[in-house]
Amino acid sequence: MSTRLNNRTADSAECSTPEYDNSCRIPVVLLWAGATLWLVVAIAFRVLASVKLHEPNFLADTAWVSYGRIEAVASFMQTYGFALQASLGTALWILCRSGRTQLFEGRIVSLASVFWNGGVILGGISILLGNSTGFEGFEMPTTAASILGVCWLVIAGCGLITFVARNESEDFPSQWFIACSLIWFLGVYITAYVLLFLVPARGILQSAIASWYSQNLSQIVLGFVGLGSVFYLLPKLLERPLHTRQIAFFVLFTLALTASGANLHINAPFPAWMVNASCVLGILTCIPLTAVGLIAWKTADRDFRSLDSNISLRCSFAALIFWMVAMAQAIVSTVPSLSALVSFTVFVAAQKRLFLEGFFALAMFALIYHATPQLLRKPWPYRRLIQVHFWLFVTGVFLSHLVLLIGGVNQGTLLADPKTAFAIVMNALLPPLRFDTVGLVLVLLSIFAFAANFFTILGASLRNSAARLNVELLSKESGS
Amino acid sequence: MSKSTFLCLALVFSFILSWIVFVLVPLIQLGNVQQTISLNEDTRYPVERSGLAQEGAHIYRANGCNACHTQQLAPVNTGSDIARGWGTRRTLAYDYIFDNPPLIGSQRIGPDLANIGMRADLNTLLVHLYAPRVIVAGSIMPPYRFLFETRPVGNSGNALRLPKPFAAKEGYEVIPRPEGVALASYLMSLRVEGTLYETPRKNVSAAPDAFQNAAVPKNSKPGNPSMPMREPANTSLKSEQGSTQSAIPQIVPSAVPNAFE
């Protein structure tokens, strides 16, 4: 395999940059461009959903913009359009870079990434037309799900072949986090696809499987890609090793063991042993949580000036902090007595969103800010927009999270008292929901700033390539 | 053993362990459960939904009602659901065997609906879907007017009885579209009633008017006095002290309300 990959090196047009950058440039940029577009769309839908939650009469007469559909489509696009697509791009980049290997079959990967976006469009339209499956985290109907599954198989397959054929003998934790994530997704996705669509499991089992799937999707698949890219960037940009590689491998294994539960709350209508197993596993995630805390603390080494010097470092470190907060919050909502209090409140929604937006998106921004100028050989066009993006994004996420956290605890406390009428509980939730809209608007604005930067650098690079192609053609013509 | 092999084996082991615990064993335990006979009642439980109610389940799923409403009740000791009058017992895996897919939800922006069929009647549900604030003052549920149509007064017996600000203009009436009827009929089919071995119920006296009491603040007026809420069936529950069945009160089967009076 490696000889074949090495032979392809000779074909590369560019010799100034490493050939493995050339091999993955188009697929990775395609995947990240798609992810950026979907993030804008998803957050826009989320803002709309958030407004509809406290203004029930807003756009109430059109079926396809009813709250349930908008919420489902926002979650679907954020997970499948943005998160998983960005994961794939990140995975390919890190596997090529750390392994010093050319991407296996880059053209097929590019083609598959186009189809992936087709699958997301199809899924999104189907959900808006009322064909959602009703499972949180697995909203798309069969056709879209099949397209997405096949595309993942192709892209992840090429990524894993690249990983196996790596030329670098040293193993980095980030590679293993990412390789594990690529395979893990296939495992949980195929299980969910078969047991929810092909041979639907009986009754409540479908909910159990959907819950297990969405827990593994967020905590393991997205969590590993996010942690992998943070562990890739920290030592590289701080110019000192991760503290330590062994602890990072320990995190990998313990997280795979404990975060792969089903996240069932204490009152869920499942057999008691399942709820208890899920609860025990949830509480045990405090082991990897402590280990990551140790890595973050020791690697940063109180050198906050260096951490602040580079946007990728700042994003990575913020992502790591958000990850720890989100995991701690997940543990809180697993402890039986607290689980009963917060299980159906916006506390849980706040945790999920902090994980997806606060941690995962920031980890992706960190890597995209670091890698895109290298891939496209151009600096970021608007440096100030990068700062605007970071601060608006973090403020928005923090505001939304804080109000939903407090609102959720309040909602749970009020719900627990049967004497408090339900309308009072609902109306107590309105102020946090309004502040959440403000937070989401800030996030949307920040994403616009990010997208403006990303698509400008992409456009400039495309114009350059077109100009270079023209020059080559002209010189060929004049030569003949 | 090389480091790579060890890591691969460790990760495969974690995945398989998780898969066995949360997929395989539940499949073996619950994959084939069948209808059962309710304790001290000679009825089969749960009952499969009618075709119309199954249609309604699709409307419920399509519009993402489960984004705001759960269909799962907590036991008495770990939640206020029973005390709120949302049901008479906790929900169990058994209650969902005919649900495909089960729409148990995860958020309570609105009240739980696991047992809504025993708390409200069909007409009230239809009015609530058309204009939630008629039934629950200050409700933040959006109106689902696209499940209804407004047309010139005809001979239809199923026009909604709406109070002034919500009613259609003079000479017009609001009638539910087939989707609206199906959705309401699905909601009516949501009843957690069978007494099972796992849930020998204590005598829980639910609030006499559970739907309204749980939903309306005390100082607000009921929206539409012309549409009184049906008394929930479980108000007549009595436990027989001392007998073996004392913990398992009899559920009085509630009459199916007339759909369009």
- What confidence category does residue B242 fall into, taking pLDDT thresholds of 50, 70 and 90? very low
Backbone phi, psi, residue B23, to 5°: -120, -55
Q: Are B256 and A461 contacting, i.e. CB atoms less than 8 angstroms apart?
A: no
User: Which of A168, A209, A344 would you mutate first to test chain B, the one with the most B CBs within 10 A?
Assistant: A344
pTM of the model: 0.88
End-to-end CA distance of chain A: 38
The ipTM, to two decimals, is 0.90
Q: In chain B, which residue's Cα lies nearest the Cα of A250?
A: B7
- If you average pLDDT over residues B14-40, what whole number do you get? 90
Give chain B positions within 8 Å (CB) of A63.
Answer: 63, 146
Q: In chain B, which residue's Cα lies nearest the Cα of A75?
A: B67
Would the pLDDT of A323 be above 50? yes
Q: In chain A, which residue's Cα lies nearest the Cα of B9?
A: A253
**Beta strands at B36-37 and B44-45: parallel, antiparallel or unpaired:** antiparallel
Chain B: closest CA distance from residue A433 (Å): 11
pLDDT for B77: 85
- If you average pLDDT over residues B153-175, what whole number do you get? 86
The total number of residues shown for chain A amounts to 480
Would you call B84 and A249 a contact, using CB atoms and an 8 Å cutoff? Answer: no
Give chain A positions within 8 Å (CB) of B217.
Answer: 421, 423-424
A 10 A CB-CB count for B197 gives 11
Would you call B102 and A344 a contact, using CB atoms and an 8 Å cutoff? Answer: no
Closest of B105, B112, B67, B70 to residue B87, by C-alpha: B112
The answer to which of A73-77, B36-40, B58-62, B93-97 has the lowest mean pLDDT is B36-40
Q: CA dist A309 to A305, A427, B252, Å?
A: 6, 44, 72
Would you call A56 and B143 a contact, using CB atoms and an 8 Å cutoff? Answer: yes
Q: In chain B, which residue's Cα lies nearest the Cα of A62?
A: B146
Would you call B109 and A57 a contact, using CB atoms and an 8 Å cutoff? Answer: no
A474, with CB counted inside 10 A (0-12, 13-18, 19+), is: exposed
Amino acid at A455: F
- What confidence category does residue B202 fall into, taking pLDDT thresholds of 50, 70 and 90? low
Q: What's the rounded Cα separation, in Å, for the pair B91 and A265? A: 13
Closest of A184, A137, A155, A161 to residue A356, by C-alpha: A137
Give chain B positions within 8 Å (CB) of A184.
Answer: 11, 15
For B3-14, the pLDDT digits (tens) are 888 889 999 999
Q: What's the rounded Cα separation, in Å, for the pair B12 and B6? A: 10
Q: What's the rounded Cα separation, in Å, for the pair A369 and A230? A: 12
Q: Are B142 and B171 contacting, i.e. CB atoms less than 8 angstroms apart?
A: no
Q: Are A147 and A122 contacting, i.e. CB atoms less than 8 angstroms apart?
A: yes
> Which token pair is B113?
């609906």
- If you average pLDDT over residues A96-113, what whole number do you get? 91
Q: In chain B, which residue's Cα lies nearest the Cα of A267?
A: B74
Tokens 């009740």 correspond to B73
Would you call A426 and B83 a contact, using CB atoms and an 8 Å cutoff? Answer: no
pLDDT for B201: 57
| CA angle centred on B104, ends B98 and B106, rounded to 5° | 170
Would you call B99 and A68 a contact, using CB atoms and an 8 Å cutoff? Answer: no
Closest of A241, A206, A237, A224 to residue A370, by C-alpha: A237
CA atoms within 13 A on the CB side of A209: 31
Would you call B99 and A204 a contact, using CB atoms and an 8 Å cutoff? Answer: yes
Give chain A positions within 8 Å (CB) of B87.
Answer: none
> Which token pair is A344?
């159906």
Q: Which of A57, A256, A423 faces B136 most closely, judged by CB atoms?
A: A423
Would you call A426 and B95 a contact, using CB atoms and an 8 Å cutoff? Answer: no
Chain B: closest CA distance from residue A190 (Å): 12
Q: What's the rounded Cα separation, in Å, for the pair A354 and B131? A: 34
Would you call B216 and A421 a contact, using CB atoms and an 8 Å cutoff? Answer: yes
Q: Are A165 and A1 contacting, i.e. CB atoms less than 8 angstroms apart?
A: yes
Backbone phi, psi, residue B174, to 5°: -105, 120
Q: What's the rounded Cα separation, in Å, for the pair A411 and A344? A: 9
Would the pLDDT of A211 be above 80? yes
Chain B: closest CA distance from residue A90 (Å): 21
Q: Are B14 and A220 contacting, i.e. CB atoms less than 8 angstroms apart?
A: no
Task: State the alpha helices, DSSP H only, in A333-421.
Answer: 336-342, 346-353, 362-376, 383-416
Tokens 């456009």 correspond to A459
Chain B: closest CA distance from residue A459 (Å): 39
For A424-440, the pLDDT digits (tens) are 999 999 999 999 999 99
Q: In chain B, which residue's Cα lies nearest the Cα of A255?
A: B14
Q: Which of B29, B67, B142 faces A72 most closely, judged by CB atoms?
A: B67
| CA angle centred on A434, ends A433 and A436, rounded to 5° | 60
- If you average pLDDT over residues A5-9, what whole number do you get? 36
Closest of B120, B99, B117, B88 to residue B194, by C-alpha: B88
Give chain B positions within 8 Å (CB) of A61.
Answer: 145-146
Q: Respond yes or no on whether the N-terminal peptide bond of residue A244 is cis (omega within 30° of 0).
A: yes
Q: Are B31 and A201 contacting, i.e. CB atoms less than 8 angstroms apart?
A: yes
Q: How far is CA A98 from the centre of its chain?
A: 21
pLDDT for B228: 37
Q: Are B108 and A344 contacting, i.e. CB atoms less than 8 angstroms apart?
A: yes
Q: CA dist A336 to A37, A277, A342, Å?
A: 40, 12, 10
Chain B: closest CA distance from residue A22 (Å): 28
Give chain B positions within 8 Å (CB) of A415.
Answer: 80, 108
Does A244 or A283 have the greater pLDDT score?
A: A283
Would you call A56 and B142 a contact, using CB atoms and an 8 Å cutoff? Answer: yes
Would you call A56 and B80 a contact, using CB atoms and an 8 Å cutoff? Answer: no
A 10 A CB-CB count for B231 gives 13
Helix (H, G, I), strand (E, B) or coil at B149: strand
Would you call A71 and B64 a contact, using CB atoms and an 8 Å cutoff? Answer: yes
Q: In chain B, which residue's Cα lies nearest the Cα of A271?
A: B93
User: Which of A46, A64, A196, A202 would you mutate first to test chain B, the one with the most B CBs within 10 A?
Assistant: A202
- What confidence category does residue B193 fall into, taking pLDDT thresholds of 50, 70 and 90? confident
A 10 A CB-CB count for A61 gives 12
Q: What's the rounded Cα separation, in Å, for the pair A245 and A177? A: 12
Amino acid at B139: S
- If you average pLDDT over residues B8-36, what whole number do you get? 92
Largest CA distance in chain A: 90
Residue B161 neighbours by CB under 8 Å, 6+ apart: B123, B127, B224, B226, B227
Give chain B positions within 8 Å (CB) of A67.
Answer: 64, 67-68, 142
**Beta strands at B148-152 and B172-176: parallel, antiparallel or unpaired:** antiparallel
Chain A: closest CA distance from residue B247 (Å): 21
Angle formed by the axes of helices A311-332 and A346-353, nearest 10°:
150
Q: In chain B, which residue's Cα lies nearest the Cα of A181?
A: B11
Closest of A168, A184, A166 to residue A224, by C-alpha: A184
Would the pLDDT of B247 be above 50? no
Q: What's the rounded Cα separation, in Å, for the pair A188 and A100? A: 29
> Which token pair is B233?
């069936």
For B63-95, the pLDDT digits (tens) are 999 999 999 999 888 888 999 989 888 999 889
Would you call B138 and A268 a contact, using CB atoms and an 8 Å cutoff? Answer: no
Q: What's the rounded Cα separation, in Å, for the pair B125 and A440? A: 33
pLDDT for A304: 79
Tokens 């192709």 correspond to A154
For A156-174, the pLDDT digits (tens) are 999 999 999 988 888 889 9
Q: Respond yes or no on whether the N-terminal peptide bond of residue B101 is cis (omega within 30° of 0).
A: yes
Q: Which of B15, B68, B101 faces A135 most closely, judged by CB atoms?
A: B101
